Structure 1
Amino acid sequence: MNATPIALLCKPVLIALVALLAACGKEAAQLAAVEPDQGTACALDGMVLKDYPGPKAQIHYKEGAPEFFCDLVELFSMVLAPEQKRPVAGIFVQDMGKTDWAQPSGHWVDAKLAYYVVGSKKTGSMGPTFGSFSSLPDAEAFVAREGGTVKRFEQMTLDMVSQPGKGAAHEDKMH
């Protein structure tokens, strides 16, 4: 049986599509969060992540190894910096609704999908910091206990980074 011209054209297209989907799957797998080990240090100040309370973060760049941060204020100072030019493939933060503030471990979520609490009483490695949560109810419950205001990733600003314990602390609703 002879193949039709359409069948001859479809086979290479189908092979290319399968290869493309496989490549996407590999890229997505590369974007999984990495659990820091006992000696993983902060990219900005060299502090060992496991030695400090509060949520940690990691940035995966399109090229090179991921960078880790011992505090979300440090993460946002890096992400929001006007001189930040390295192409970012993914950013992860810990879900504090699922891990212990004093010794956070695991529970990484996409930073761009997380809810952040700005202006709470809780501190991290460098003093006042932000809390990160995968769900709005967990973030709101944290605000009820610790104070602060819920924000989304795109609402975070350099002003909040320069004064993490102030700024939005007295607002009473999410904007």
Structure 2
Amino acid sequence: MMMTRRSFILSAIASSLLASSLTGCSQSNSVKTLTPVEIDTHTTCDLDGMLLADYAGPKAQIFYTGNDTPTFFCDTVELFHTLLAPEQVKAIAAVYVQDMGKADWEQPRNNWFDAKTGFYVLGSKRHGSMGPTIASFAQETDAKKFAAEWGGKLLRYAEIKADMVDLSGGALHDTRM
């Protein structure tokens, strides 16, 4: 059977479309690993422009779906306020917070972990950049030790509710503003 030029071209186009659709499927099914980005002296909070390195307490970052760079927060209260806001409609690929069981409270660096797996202490005497903060820990034993020393209530990620994250007090506690 002899193939006409038109049949050959249509066959080539169909093969090309099939190959590209199969490649597209395999690419869309692959999961891209998003790793936390370390802060530096120029990293700013996406909500208020504060320099993260200038403030004590746990920091946070969100990778929104489709973005390779995170949105930074100078405090976990800001993070949870954003996550729990009813108008939050952006799809989230990853959320990271700092493990305050390992990081220096006054100048936290590194020690990022998946926020959804963490343990949190709400209502302690320790303050972050926005005043009262939610201390984040990768290990429950570290969170319990912190709560015993500084006070507060131990919570899991899913137990933190919108009425627990109040941003109104931040400016009252910031002597640098």
Q: What's the TM-score bracket when you normalise by the shorter of the two chains?
A: 0.7 to 0.9
2:102 aligns to what SS in structure 1? coil
Q: Distance in 2 between matches of 1:21 and 1:87?
A: 16
1:134 is aligned to 2:138: yes
Q: Partners of 2:72 and 2:29 in 1: how far apart?
A: 28
Of 16, 30, 40 in structure 1, the residue corresponding to residue 43 of structure 2 is 40
8 A Cα contact 1:130 1:164, kept in partner: no
SS state at 2:125 partner: coil
- After TM superposition, the score normalised by the length of structure 2 is 0.77
Instruction: Tell me if 1:56 matches 2:59.
Output: yes
What is the CA–CA distance in structure 2 between the aligned matches of 1:60 and 1:123, rounded to whole Å? 25
Task: Among all aligned residue pairs of Structure 1 and Structure 2, give the percentage whose two residues are the same amino acid.
Answer: 50
Match of 2:30 among 6, 12, 23: 23
**1:28-80 Cα deviation digits (max 9, x unpaired):** 2xx11010121010011000000000000000011223100000000001000
**How many positions carry a matched residue from both structures?**
146
1:23 counterpart letter in structure 2: S
- Which residue of 2 is the match for residue 171 of structure 1? none
Q: CA deviation at 1:20?
A: 6.3
Contact 2:119 2:154 in 1 (8 A): yes
Q: Distance in 1 between matches of 2:29 and 2:165?
A: 39
Q: Which runs of 5+ in 2 are unaligned?
A: 1-21, 170-177
Deviations 1:69-121 (A, max 9, x none): 00000000100001000000000000000011000000000000010000000
Displacement of 1:22: 9.1
TM-score (norm 1): 0.78
One-letter amino acid of the structure 1 residue matched with residue 153 of structure 2:
T
> Which residue identity is paired with 1:130?
I
Matched, 1:84 2:82: no
Aligned to 1:94: 98
Corresponding residue SS for 1:45: coil
| Aligned equivalent of 1:172 | none
User: What are the equivalent positions in structure 2 for 1:156-171 lying under 5 Å apart?
Assistant: 156-162=160-166
Q: Which residue of 2 aligns with 1:124?
A: 128
Unmatched segments (≥5 aa) in structure 1: 1-14, 166-175
Aligned to 1:170: none
Distance, in Å, in 2 between the alignment partners of 1:164 and 1:141 is 28
- Distance of 2:52 and 2:105 partners within structure 1: 13
For the residue of structure 1 that corresponds to 2:141, the secondary structure is: helix
Distance in 1 (CA, whole Å) between partners of 2:168 and 2:154 is 13
Aligned residues: CA RMSD:
2.3
Match of 1:67 among 63, 67, 71: 71
SS at match of 2:120: strand
Superposition pairs for residues 3-22 of structure 1, below 5 Å?
A: none
Displacement, 1:23?
A: 2.9
Q: Distance in 1 between matches of 2:30 and 2:86?
A: 32
Contact map agreement 2:119 2:155 (CA 8 A) in 1: yes
